[in-house]
Amino acid sequence: MSHRSVQITRFLLALILFTGILTATSQAAKLTAEQRKELASIKRNLGKVATLIRQKKYDEAKTLTDEEEAKLDKLAADAMIPETDAVIVSTKRLIDARRTVLEKAMGGGGGTPGANKGISFESQIAPILNEKCSNCHGAQRASANLNLSTFADMRKGGRSGLLLVPGNPRASLMALKLIAPDNQRMPKNAPALEQNQIELIAKWIQEGARFDGEKETDPIGASAKAKKNPVKVEMATGDEKVSFMKDVAPWMLDFCMRCHSGNNPASGFSVVTFEDILRGGDTGEVIVPGKPDDSRLWQLVGLQDPIKMPQGQALLKRKNANDLKTWIEEGAKFDGKNAKGNLREMVPTEDELRMAELANLSPEKFADMRRDSLEPIWKRALNNEKPELLETDDFIFYGNVSTDRLKQISGWAETQADGLRKLFNEKQKPLWRGKLAVYVMKDRFGYSEFNQTIEDRRVDPATT
């Protein structure tokens, strides 16, 4: 009822404003600095609404939303901007989105979504997994080798094998783990899921553990999120100066993922998929294509001196910030394959590039590389000491002791290696791709020095 009357009032107000403006001037949309500040404050408070909803403080959330809407209407009236102005529309949309979420959270959604079509993985199961499991079973940290970030990963299961037996919750490790005795129960070291959540998961498995998202390789829940809050992705033409995938995504993932990913990203802003970035955070969209100065992303990352995000770090280079600006100026376009896909899987990190390179090396090349790195590594710590070298099938020994001493040590090492071969029932020789380098130091000073310089760790005095 009240919602309706608000809408009618809003409509009338719009009509009055609109006719007023048509007769006055057709481009009154310039806000004063004061009004801009007010608008920013409204958006910030709408961000707080999202937080309040997450904290289940629904009454406070409702009051704040109403207040901010009233402020926005007043601002529009004072500034004589039509409600059709992009600034007002985008903020109104944010208010509506908050109301929808709030109504749903307060139980006004009416029945279980998709009740007659069976349980929806994307809209009912994925949110539970994202909230309760992803911290430990994600791409970055997959406890028990179990990664729940995409359905494809879920299918693979973890170290004990398959996770789901469609039609049979009692045989599905996923359901069993939710009701296991205390110390084996999931989520680990946390209260058990609520009874209705457990039942929902069991029932979903009973119904066949069906996937109803778009692609099994997308982050779970992504398609439900996209439906609830759609964004429009503009594809790059290839004429752009800045490529999102090559010039923006790599540093953004490296610098921002830590806080802006997972089930509860800082300020509601996630950089997991391209659509997430466009969707923005608690204050709404953070990118206005073509207009960096109106884009919160650029305001936070580039406009401030020193650069404000990533919080508490100053790793971002000026070039990164400039690329971000140009990318927004050029329309914030996407030049990747899948805007709903996990960017981390499409954009390799420096470490991953290096690892892929190493994985492709033959065992001989690998050993060569190891041999080549001995001297530079040694010299960094013990520049004045001249080391000896001894190679076996499995090891390279390198150190400032006599060859006889190296031989003795190699004997010990081979005994250990044989022990490992037996333990793991591993016949192959050499035991490792390439060889294992063993640095030998004559005295404890050298050992401490090596640890501090090369390994960046202190040796506990009892050890030396």
135 near ligand HEC, judged by CB under 6 A:
yes
Q: Which of 301, 390, 406, 440 binds ligand HEC (CB under 6 A)?
A: 301
Omega of the bond leading into 306 within 30 degrees of 0 (cis): yes
Q: How far is CA 408 from the centre of its chain?
A: 50
The answer to whether 79 and 28 are in contact (CB under 8 A) is: yes
Omega of the bond leading into 169 within 30 degrees of 0 (cis): no
175 near ligand HEC, judged by CB under 6 A:
no
Report the alpha-carbon distance of residue 403 to residue 200 in Å, rounded: 67
Instruction: Please classify residue 323 by burial: count the beta carbons closer than 10 Å to its beta carbon, then call 0-12 exposed, 13-18 middle and 19+ buried.
Output: buried
Minimal distance, residue 85 CB to ligand HEC, in Å: 20
Report the alpha-carbon distance of residue 356 to residue 162 in Å, rounded: 27
49 near ligand HEC, judged by CB under 6 A:
no
Residue 161 three-state SS: strand
How many other C-beta atoms are found inside a 10 Å radius of the C-beta of residue 88? 21
Minimal distance, residue 245 CB to ligand HEC, in Å: 16
Minimal distance, residue 337 CB to ligand HEC, in Å: 22
Minimal distance, residue 256 CB to ligand HEC, in Å: 3
Report the alpha-carbon distance of residue 68 to residue 73 in Å, rounded: 9
Q: Is 184 or 416 the residue whose CB approaches ligand HEC more closely?
A: 184
Residue type, 38: E
Q: Is 265 or 399 the residue whose CB approaches ligand HEC more closely?
A: 265
Interface mask toward ligand HEC for 242-271; x: CB under 6 A:
----------x--xx-xxx-----xx-x--
Rg (CA), the chain: 29
Q: Which of 3, 4, 159, 318 binds ligand HEC (CB under 6 A)?
A: 159
Q: Which of 41, 55, 112, 160 binds ligand HEC (CB under 6 A)?
A: 160
Minimal distance, residue 218 CB to ligand HEC, in Å: 19
Q: By CB under 6 A, which span of 63-71, 111-119, 128-136, 205-213 interacts with ligand HEC?
A: 128-136
Q: Is 173 or 205 the residue whose CB approaches ligand HEC more closely?
A: 173
Long-range pairs for 417-422: beta carbons < 8 A, 24 or more residues apart: none
Report the alpha-carbon distance of residue 225 to residue 211 in Å, rounded: 15
Q: In sequence order, which ranges of 311-349 are alpha helices (DSSP H)?
A: 318-329, 343-346
Report the b/e string of 55-87 with b at 16+ CB within 10 A: eeeeeebbebbeebbeebbebbeebebbbebeb
Q: Is 21 or 249 the residue whose CB approaches ligand HEC more closely?
A: 249
192 near ligand HEC, judged by CB under 6 A:
no
Minimal distance, residue 232 CB to ligand HEC, in Å: 18
The answer to whether 272 and 225 are in contact (CB under 8 A) is: no
Report the alpha-carbon distance of residue 185 to residue 192 in Å, rounded: 7
List the Cα angle 198/200/205 in 5-degree steps. Answer: 100
Place of tokens 């100066």: 241
Q: Is 28 or 321 the residue whose CB approaches ligand HEC more closely?
A: 321
Q: Is 179 or 436 the residue whose CB approaches ligand HEC more closely?
A: 179
Residue type, 106: M
Total of chain residues touching ligand HEC, rule CB under 6 A: 47
Minimal distance, residue 455 CB to ligand HEC, in Å: 27
Q: Which of 62, 98, 225, 296 binds ligand HEC (CB under 6 A)?
A: 296
Report the alpha-carbon distance of residue 263 to residue 127 in Å, rounded: 8
Minimal distance, residue 317 CB to ligand HEC, in Å: 11
| Nearest CA among 164, 159, 147 for reference residue 344 | 147
Q: Which of 62, 98, 99, 177 binds ligand HEC (CB under 6 A)?
A: 177
Q: Which of 138, 262, 302, 310 binds ligand HEC (CB under 6 A)?
A: 310
Pair of tokens at residue 129: 């997994």
Q: Is 188 or 433 the residue whose CB approaches ligand HEC more closely?
A: 188
Q: Which of residues 357-376 bind ligand HEC (CB under 6 A)?
A: none
Minimal distance, residue 203 CB to ligand HEC, in Å: 15
Q: Is 185 or 371 the residue whose CB approaches ligand HEC more closely?
A: 185
Interface mask toward ligand HEC for 269-288; x: CB under 6 A:
x----------xxxx--x--
203 near ligand HEC, judged by CB under 6 A:
no
Q: Is 253 or 367 the residue whose CB approaches ligand HEC more closely?
A: 253
143 near ligand HEC, judged by CB under 6 A:
yes
Report the alpha-carbon distance of residue 224 to residue 352 in Å, rounded: 30
Which DSSP category does 281 fall into? B
Binding residues for ligand HEC (CB under 6 A):
47, 132-133, 135-137, 143-144, 146, 157-160, 163, 173-174, 177, 184, 186-190, 193, 252, 255-256, 258-260, 266-267, 269, 280-283, 286, 296-297, 300-301, 309-312, 316
